[in-house]
């Protein structure tokens, strides 16, 4: 039976996780040449090329992505074993590494995170935003514990991960005081002539609103499209147009941005998900998020 060399696997995994031979070598306190030698030995042992050049750095091959995913699980289990044997030091914060899809409303994201931050055990939150490609990549190599998204994981991502539905929220149109006063009467027909602010087409809310506008029988007068929901709210607070937000954060939006309700579109609902590499969640903070869903 051929045994896997875990030292070689560790060298490769750190290169995959850090995206750089140099950074991996610094973590291992060895030279970059030493790391490269170990990775090449692993490639020869497995009979497959795991890394390829990409600009000034390296990128994972298709099989490299799969090996990195397995390596992540192996070393995560090793960490769990150490913590089980040694016990977590009393009072040491539990680290929660969260990725949030950049287009997702941050007020919603924070509300979903609150149960994890209210545990009896101290929690150290490490938060990052990004597009789904980057977040799923980081999740697959355990740089993240969980990803929060307005969409479930797409099947085009060839990673072993699971979408846990956290809940849903209706949608409400809001606007600055003068615009809300103008377009609230005769809603939704009044929106036919209203300036509209929308998220970009890759968001779940945008896709549903496009269908809703079509069902109403008119094309909205879109005066702005935003990849950042916070910027869209700022534009709305300045009177640029009417926008839609999840009803679950309507009170916060009114208080923070001074926006007022215009109307509620029937049948439009946004859902939210926690994406993890575990089907059965073990991380206490991620479990809290899952159990205290909307």
The tens digit of pLDDT for each residue in 37-59 reads 999 999 999 999 999 887 777 88
68 falls within a domain:
yes
Q: In whole angstroms, give the CA distance from residue 242 to residue 27.
A: 50
pLDDT value of position 80: 66
The number of distinct structural domains making up the chain is 3
Whole-number average pLDDT of the chain: 88
Question: Nearest-CA neighbor of 58 among 24, 15, 28, 25?
Answer: 15
pLDDT (tens digit per residue) in 11-23? 998 888 888 888 8
26 falls within a domain:
yes
* 175 and 159 inside one domain: no
DSSP 268: -
Give the highest mean pLDDT range of 75-79, 155-159, 194-198: 194-198
Print the domain residue range for 46. 6-86
* 155 and 227 inside one domain: no
* 193 and 266 inside one domain: yes
pLDDT value of position 87: 47
What is the pTM for the complete model shown? Answer: 0.68
* 284 and 144 inside one domain: yes
58 falls within a domain:
yes
Q: Strand, coil or helix: what is 12?
A: helix
């Amino acid at each position: 039976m051929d045994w896997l060399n875990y030292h070689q696997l560790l060298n490769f995994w750190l290169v995959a996780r850090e995206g750089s031979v140099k950074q991996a070598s610094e973590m291992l306190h060895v030279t970059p040449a030493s790391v490269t030698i170990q990775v090449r030995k692993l490639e020869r042992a497995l009979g497959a090329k795991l890394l390829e050049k990409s600009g000034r750095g390296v990128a994972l091959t298709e099989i490299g992505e799969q090996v990195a995913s397995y390596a992540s699980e192996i070393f995560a289990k090793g960490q769990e074993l150490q913590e089980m044997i040694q016990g977590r030091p009393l009072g040491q914060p539990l680290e929660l590494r969260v990725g949030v899809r950049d287009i997702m409303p941050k007020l919603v994201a924070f509300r979903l995170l609150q149960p994890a931050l209210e545990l009896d055990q101290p929690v150290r939150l490490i938060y990052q935003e990004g597009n789904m490609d980057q977040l799923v990549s980081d999740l697959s190599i355990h740089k993240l514990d969980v990803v929060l998204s307005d969409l479930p994981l797409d099947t085009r991502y060839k990673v072993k991960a699971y979408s846990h539905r956290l809940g849903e929220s209706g949608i409400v149109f809001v606007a600055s005081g003068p615009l809300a006063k103008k377009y609230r009467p005769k809603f939704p027909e009044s929106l036919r002539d209203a300036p509209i602010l929308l998220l970009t087409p890759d968001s779940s809310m945008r896709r549903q609103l496009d269908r809703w506008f079509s069902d109403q029988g008119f094309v909205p007068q879109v005066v702005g499209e935003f990849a950042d929901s916070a910027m869209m709210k700022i534009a709305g607070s300045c009177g640029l147009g009417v926008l839609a937000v999840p009803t679950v954060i309507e009170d916060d939006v009114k208080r923070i941005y001074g926006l007022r309700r215009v109307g509620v579109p029937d049948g439009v609902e946004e859902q939210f998900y926690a994406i993890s590499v575990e089907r059965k969640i073990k991380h206490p903070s991620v479990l809290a998020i899952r159990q205290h869903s909307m």
